[in-house]
């Protein structure tokens, strides 16, 4: 039947409710309105930043209307929902993405034109929302589910490069100019407790009372995320921590005003910075505070419980959600332990994003005892029941018990969060096929033996073709639509359709258009570098790109040593010989964790090699090298479409998946890589003849490492070419060689990442790339074949797999 209007006069409401503004006059009216009232400015004093803000606010109005409809539908239908918990959401910019998803870019450009502003300039005004470190945070931003994260006041640091080539870090005050995309939800606030004491009731139930300590307030901010060509609008809820009262009343009464203010500062500090560290463990109390603060706020979302639908989860920072849910069920809801454990283990799904054992999080027991005493009790209880079950299955196997215990012995004892995530989740999955195999045979081997292999599987990561093709490479997107003869709305949602273009690789006219677009994207990058850094780039050269966090396992080191080798080879040649060489421009962009000294040394080497190379009149036409500072999502959007070849060269068995490899390939850049992570599945899709693989394979790596330690061979013997490179660095060809000794020694001794072992194979692969590039027509064919076989790597495919085989979700249609 007809629903009753909830409040007041239905007609008055309905007559006054706003509709979407989708035509140019409506959009202009809305923008000018925001200029006048939201910004209190006028045509006389409006700059690009103001115009950007007004445009963004008007787009936000549209998103809110869609969001309201989405909410209403969800409330009516009560479908099961998935929540993606991640401490990182690396969003990038929002305006262009929203305009494309709403299909309003043309109208908005026309409107801002009329108002005297150029849309492309306005887009440049937006600051990246950089609430993440790398692939993990970016992945979180690309999955179309509801997200829960933290509203860091400072995102990932801004990277500056000193004249010596040293990375310097400056804060990223991204909220400084106000953030038009967020909506504070003053009605959504929860108290979160820290410290205090936990007392078991000992009344025959497992309940305990946790009291005292410090309480802070979690305040919600909602960021609306438009779905693509649909009304359906998702929400990213970010929590900010605030003091519970303006200041601590007790201290105030005692006349200690300063302490009162300090306690309010310490509450705000919880969400003040993103930890600029991926792939390493943290020993920081504040980091554990962040994790608990966020899982606790998220867990309060269901008001009132019982909790029937609960978050699907993510990586071990959110593992604290497991004991927190147990605490709510057992202590607050009076649910018996076994039932609570059953609900919990049906609620969470754990996605593993790293195969590096040193990156698995552990927390010292004394810290947990101090900060979250009740949670420590719960973790101990979980562990006790768990080990009893293990003992039952493997009687008397004490070593196994010690290996699998959630508590690692030592001084102090440590809580192994990855193990807790594993036993507290319904499924454990990895980001690609091979990394999941690695996890199953190494870090979680015992758990596979105990729980059965069925619990462990993989959902290969994906990327969104909306941002990573349509938005960053509009010309290629248009060519694809034209050639498929369908609107982009169709193929962007069914990326497998690209396969239909494969025959066009044989069509000379199509190849010409394809190549011209690549060339214009290279010029766009050259323009960007010219205007931001004042450097002149040879756009007739091959563009060779490696962009990702700087880490030894990702081996930017191998790349830079390869560049030096190329330089030495060029110097050995006569001027005549050089003319036959295929010119190359090598780009790096990468941030190193501020405390990761060797990584920063590698940046320093890259910068100083660039200085020598780019100034050498004999070689600079054939080899240029650039380190672009302050890598970000926005910079990636310019670099990726311009690349001819990109490098994904981690030591085999170390990269959990990689997702930028997919982005490059989707834009017709070829892949040079190791047989690692998602490279392998990319190779399967595009075919062996269209990728360049090299290096030792995962099963061999362990033996090589063993030999490097117990039967070391000098670099001279493994690779004379590399030995020469190391010696010119050490002798000071790129400035004081002594500075680089610690880095060079990691290769001479131990060589954990197999730099010397893989070097010759790498140089050989680079040569194969050069040879292939000489045949331009064949190269373009490879480029077309690569892009057109990327269907599998759409995030739509990944999310469908999650929804169908893990979460049991069905899409909800939002009526127009
Ligand atoms: C990263 C891995 C990548 C992977 C992404 C997304 C972290 C901690 N992990 O290989 O290094 O592609 O996660 O799964 O950022």
What residues line ligand 1, using a CB cutoff of 6 Å? 133-136, 139, 278-279, 353-354, 431, 461, 655-659, 677
In three-state secondary structure terms, 608 is: helix
User: φ, ψ for residue 811 (rounded to 5)?
Assistant: -65, 145
For the chain, the distance separating the N- and C-terminal CA atoms, rounded to the nearest angstrom, is: 20
Of 193, 327, 518, 549, which one is the catalytic site residue?
Answer: 549
Stretch 464-475: mean pLDDT, rounded? 98
How far, in Å, are 495, 550, 709, 783 from residue 557 at the CA level? 35, 9, 20, 27
Q: Does the annotation count 663 as an active-site position?
A: yes
Residue 809 has a pLDDT of: 74
Atom index in ligand 1 nearest the CA of residue 278 equals: 8
Strands 670-674 and 645-648: parallel
- CA-proximal residue: ligand 1, atom 13 (nearest): 136
User: φ, ψ for residue 183 (rounded to 5)?
Assistant: -130, 110
d(CA 521, CA 527): 10
Stretch 592-600: mean pLDDT, rounded? 96
Q: 731, 568 in Cβ contact below 8 A?
A: no
Of 60, 151, 327, 554, which one is the catalytic site residue?
Answer: 554
Atom index in ligand 1 nearest the CA of residue 658 equals: 12
Span 118-173, pLDDT tens digits: 999 999 999 999 999 999 999 999 988 889 999 999 999 999 999 999 999 999 99
How far, in Å, are 492, 564, 662 from residue 648 at the CA level? 25, 19, 10
Residue 316 has a pLDDT of: 54
Confidence of residue 302 (pLDDT cuts 50, 70, 90): low
Centre of ligand 1 to C-alpha 462, Å, is 12
Q: Check whether 308 has a pLDDT greater than 60.
A: no
Strand partners, 192: 216
d(CA 82, CA 395): 39
Residue 669 has a pLDDT of: 98
Centre of ligand 1 to C-alpha 315, Å, is 10
Q: Does the annotation count 207 as an active-site position?
A: no
Stretch 523-541: mean pLDDT, rounded? 96
Mutation choice for ligand 1 from 658, 661, 679, CB with most ligand atoms inside 8 A = 658
Q: Does the annotation count 554 as an active-site position?
A: yes
Span 202-261, pLDDT tens digits: 999 999 999 999 999 999 999 999 988 888 899 999 999 999 865 556 666 666 777 767
Alpha carbon 775 to its chain centroid, in Å, reads 36
Q: 722, 755 in Cβ contact below 8 A?
A: yes
DSSP per position, 130-180: EES-SHHHHHHHHS-SEEEEE--SB-SPEEEE-TTS-EEEE---TTTT--T
- CA-proximal residue: ligand 1, atom 7 (nearest): 136
Span 335-361, pLDDT tens digits: 999 999 999 999 888 999 998 888 889
In three-state secondary structure terms, 687 is: coil
Share of the chain above pLDDT 70, in %: 96
Q: Does the annotation count 659 as an active-site position?
A: yes
Count of residues for the chain? 816
Confidence of residue 301 (pLDDT cuts 50, 70, 90): low
Q: Check whether 370 has a pLDDT greater than 60.
A: yes
Stretch 276-296: mean pLDDT, rounded? 89
- The domains of the chain, with CATH numbers, are 129-461+803-807 (3.40.50.2000), 467-793 (3.40.50.2000)
Residue 315 has a pLDDT of: 47
Centre of ligand 1 to C-alpha 459, Å, is 13
How far, in Å, are 212, 330, 367, 768 from residue 215 at the CA level? 8, 21, 18, 61
Strands 182-194 and 214-226: antiparallel
Q: Check whether 457 has a pLDDT greater than 50.
A: yes
Stretch 566-575: mean pLDDT, rounded? 98
Stretch 263-290: mean pLDDT, rounded? 88
Confidence of residue 77 (pLDDT cuts 50, 70, 90): confident
In this prediction the ipTM stands at: 0.98
Atom index in ligand 1 nearest the CA of residue 655 equals: 10
Alpha helices in 579-678 (DSSP H): 597-614, 633-639, 660-666
d(CA 714, CA 710): 13
Residue 184 has a pLDDT of: 95
d(CA 111, CA 113): 5
Which comes out higher in pLDDT, residue 144 or 393?
393
Residue 324 has a pLDDT of: 95
Residue 279 has a pLDDT of: 84
Residue 252 has a pLDDT of: 63
How far, in Å, are 19, 48, 112, 242, 774 from residue 123 at the CA level? 25, 9, 11, 32, 38
Alpha carbon 508 to its chain centroid, in Å, reads 38
Centre of ligand 1 to C-alpha 713, Å, is 33
Of 244, 353, 362, 488, which one is the catalytic site residue?
Answer: 353
Contacts 24+ apart (CB under 8 A), 182-188: 182/151, 182/221, 182/222, 182/223, 182/238, 183/64, 183/221, 183/222, 183/223, 183/224, 184/219, 184/220, 184/221, 185/219, 185/220, 185/221, 185/222, 186/219, 188/219, 188/220
Share of the chain above pLDDT 90, in %: 82
Mutation choice for ligand 1 from 354, 433, 552, 591, CB with most ligand atoms inside 8 A = 354
């Amino acid at each position: 039947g007809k629903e009753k209007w909830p409040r007041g006069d239905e007609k008055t409401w309905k007559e006054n409710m706003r509709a979407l503004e989708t035509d140019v006059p409506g959009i202009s009216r809305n923008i000018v309105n925001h200029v006048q009232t939201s910004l209190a400015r006028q045509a006389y004093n409006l700059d690009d930043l103001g115009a950007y803000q007004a445009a963004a606010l008007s787009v936000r109005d549209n998103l809110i209307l869609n969001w309201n409809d989405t909410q209403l539908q969800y409330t009516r239908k009560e479908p099961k929902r998935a929540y993606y918990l991640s401490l990182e959401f690396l969003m990038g910019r929002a305006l262009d993405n929203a305009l494309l998803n709403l299909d309003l870019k043309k109208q908005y450009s026309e409107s801002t034109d009329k108002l005297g502003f150029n849309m492309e300039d306005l887009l440049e005004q937006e600051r990246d929302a950089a609430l993440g470190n790398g692939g993990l945070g970016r992945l979180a931003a690309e999955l179309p589910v509801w997200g829960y994260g933290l509203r860091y006041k400072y995102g990932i640091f801004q990277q500056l490069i000193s004249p010596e080539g040293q990375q310097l870090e400056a804060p990223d005050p991204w909220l400084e100019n106000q953030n038009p995309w967020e909506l504070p939800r003053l009605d959504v606030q929860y108290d979160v407790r820290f410290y205090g004491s936990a007392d078991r009731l000992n009344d025959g139930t497992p309940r305990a009372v946790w009291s005292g300590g410090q309480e802070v307030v979690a305040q919600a901010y909602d960021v609306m995320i438009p779905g693509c060509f649909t009304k359906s609008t998702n929400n990213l809820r970010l929590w900010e921590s605030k003091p519970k009262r303006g200041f601590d009343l007790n201290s105030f009464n005692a006349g200690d005003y300063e302490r009162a203010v300090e306690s309010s500062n310490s509450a705000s500090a919880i969400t003040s910075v993103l930890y600029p560290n991926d792939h390493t463990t943290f020993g920081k109390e504040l980091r554990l505070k962040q994790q608990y603060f966020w899982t606790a706020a998220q867990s309060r979302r269901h008001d009132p419980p019982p909790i029937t639908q609960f978050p699907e989860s993510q990586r071990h920072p959110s593992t604290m959600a497991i004991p927190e849910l147990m605490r709510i069920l057992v202590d607050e809801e009076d649910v018996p332990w076994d039932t609570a454990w059953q609900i919990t283990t049906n609620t969470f799904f754990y996605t593993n994003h790293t195969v590096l054992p040193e990156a698995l999080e552990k927390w010292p027991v004394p810290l947990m005892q101090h900060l979250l005493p009740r949670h420590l009790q719960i973790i101990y209880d979980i562990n006790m029941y768990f080990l009893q079950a293990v003992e039952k299955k493997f009687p008397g196997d004490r070593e196994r018990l010690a290996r699998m215990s959630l508590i690692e012995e030592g001084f102090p004892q440590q809580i192994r969060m990855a193990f807790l995530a594993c036993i507290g989740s319904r499924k454990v999955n990895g980001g690609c096929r091979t990394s999941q195999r690695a996890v199953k045979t190494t870090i979680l081997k015992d758990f596979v033996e105990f729980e059965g292999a069925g619990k462990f599987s993989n959902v290969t990561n994906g990327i969104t073709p909306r941002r990573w093709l349509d938005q960053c490479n509009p010309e290629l997107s248009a060519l694809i639509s034209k050639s498929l003869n369908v609107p982009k709305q169709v193929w962007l949602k069914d990326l497998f359709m690209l396969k239909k273009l494969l025959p066009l690789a044989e069509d000379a006219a199509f190849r010409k258009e394809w190549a011209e677009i690549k060339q214009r994207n290279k010029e766009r990058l050259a323009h960007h570098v010219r205007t931001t850094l004042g450097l002149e780039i040879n756009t007739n050269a091959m563009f060779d790109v490696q962009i990702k966090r700087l880490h030894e396992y990702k081996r930017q080191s191998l790349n830079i040593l390869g560049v030096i080798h190329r330089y030495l080879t060029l110097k050995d040649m006569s001027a005549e010989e050089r003319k036959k060489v295929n010119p190359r421009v090598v780009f790096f962009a990468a941030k190193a964790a501020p405390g990761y000294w060797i990584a920063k040394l590698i940046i320093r080497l890259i910068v100083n090699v660039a200085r020598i190379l780019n100034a050498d009149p004999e070689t600079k036409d054939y080899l240029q090298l650039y380190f672009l500072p302050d890598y970000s999502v926005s910079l990636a959007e310019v670099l990726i479409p311009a690349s001819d070849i990109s490098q994904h060269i981690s030591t085999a068995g170390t990269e959990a998946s990689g997702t930028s490899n997919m982005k490059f390939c989707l834009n017709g850049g070829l892949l040079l890589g190791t047989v690692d992570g998602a490279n392998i599945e990319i190779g399967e899709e595009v075919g062996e003849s269209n990728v360049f693989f090299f290096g030792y394979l995962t099963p061999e790596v362990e033996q090589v490492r063993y030999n490097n330690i117990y039967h070391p061979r000098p670099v001279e013997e493994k690779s004379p070419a590399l030995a020469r490179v190391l010696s010119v660095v050490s002798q000071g060809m790129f400035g004081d060689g002594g500075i680089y000794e610690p880095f060079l020694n990691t290769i001479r001794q131990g060589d954990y990442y197999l730099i010397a072992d893989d070097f010759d194979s790498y140089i050989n692969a680079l040569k194969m790339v050069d040879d292939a590039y000489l045949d331009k027509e064949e190269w373009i064919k490879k480029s077309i074949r690569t892009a057109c076989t990327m269907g599998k790597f759409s995030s739509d495919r990944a999310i469908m797999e999650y929804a169908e085989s893990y979460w049991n979700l069905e899409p909800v249609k939002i009526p127009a």
